[in-house]
Chain A
Amino acid sequence: MTSGQPSVAPPLPSQRDPLVGVALLGIAAIYVRALAFTPIEARQGAAQKIMYIHATSAFIALYVAFVLMALTSALYLWLKDEKLDRVAESSAEVGLCFTTVVLATGPIWGKTIWGAWWTWDARLTATLFLWFIILAYLLLRGAVEERGRRARYSAVLGILASFLVPFIHLSVYLFRTLHPMPILLKPSAPSLPNEMLVTFLLSFAAFTLLFIALLRSRYRLATLRDWVADREAERA
């Protein structure tokens, strides 16, 4: 259950992670491209550009972060490798950050198109519900001290939380909802003009890089935290 033989030297990551810097620069470049060099959609106006941060953040949170959390949680229950638990924990926290952006930017876009900041339709409500479950997942991790038990409980909760992901994806087909249908993840061709599609795909690449950079930093933090906890336990 423990991470094997205790290492003498602490796994100290460097103070500055260049990958995070590169990812933030990529996001800055996307901001410039989206705001200054991508055409304005005729019916929605400039507010349509919120899509480049809202939809990409949602895509990465739902289909990358929470799927990775569920997979590594399931693998942890099978293999009992602490590294998998740390990846699940890190992916959940970074995914929560991305979902927070989704829930913060969505209402701003909604206000311009629907005339309301929020509506209790299936997709919005389920996404908010998932946000609370992931928050509960992280609170649970903070509340259980024994590491093996903490990993087991949170792995089960992480897997259960991930069941909401396909429901959120399909909610626009299953229910009458104000939320628009997918523009990319659908059987037919993407419904975006080329210039907008390129900006969207570049934005997706930049946010994926940001996710990887944040996940790596958060994983290193978890590794160091466990090392410190082990050393402190040895002394006690």
Chain B
Amino acid sequence: MTPDNASFTTAAYTLAAIIYLAYVLSLKLRLRRLRARAIALETSARPRSDRPEGA
């Protein structure tokens, strides 16, 4: 007789999705922080006349 264990399958698939999505999100957040730092560094390295307004 086939056992009824579909809830375990759902739990495993949900857990895997959470782990992969959390990793994608962590990459995105780290990249956003680094981009901000890189843009700030690049902007401050430019001569004052080359900077965009408000920089």
Q: Which residues of A contact B (CB under 8 A)?
A: 9-10, 12-13, 15, 20, 24, 27, 31, 35, 40, 42-47, 49-50, 53-54, 57, 94, 97, 100-101, 104-105, 108-109, 111-112, 210, 214, 217-218, 220-221, 224-225, 227-228, 231-232, 235
B49 on the A face (CB < 8 A) = no
Residues of B within 8 A of A57 (CB): 16
Distance from B27 Cβ to chain A, minimum over Cβ atoms (Å):
5
Say whether, besides A10-B39, A105-B16, A214 and B23 are in contact (CB < 8 Å): yes
B6-38 vs A, Cβ < 8 Å mask (1 yes, 0 no): 101101110111011101100110111011011
| B15-A217 in contact (CB<8A) | no
Residues of B in contact, count (CB < 8 Å)? 31
Say whether, besides A10-B41, A108-B8, A228-B38, A44 and B3 are in contact (CB < 8 Å): yes
Residues of A within 8 A of B38 (CB): 10, 12, 224, 227-228, 231
Residues of B within 8 A of A42 (CB): 2
Residues of B within 8 A of A112 (CB): 3, 5, 8
Q: Is the interface of B mostly helix, strand, loop or mixed?
A: helix
Closest B-chain residue to A223, C-beta based?
B34
Q: Is the interface of A mostly helix, strand, loop or mixed?
A: helix
Closest B-chain residue to A45, C-beta based?
B3
Distance from B47 Cβ to chain A, minimum over Cβ atoms (Å):
13
Say whether, besides A10-B42, A112-B5, A15 and B19 are in contact (CB < 8 Å): no
| B3-A217 in contact (CB<8A) | no
CB < 8 Å: which of B5, B13, B24, B31 contacts A31? B13
Residues of A within 8 A of B45 (CB): 231
B53 on the A face (CB < 8 A) = no
Residues of B within 8 A of A35 (CB): 9, 13
Residues of B within 8 A of A231 (CB): 38, 41, 45
Say whether, besides A101-B20, A214-B23, A214-B27, A108 and B12 are in contact (CB < 8 Å): yes
Residues of B within 8 A of A218 (CB): 27
A43-B27 Cα distance, complex, nearest whole Å: 40
| B8-A109 in contact (CB<8A) | yes
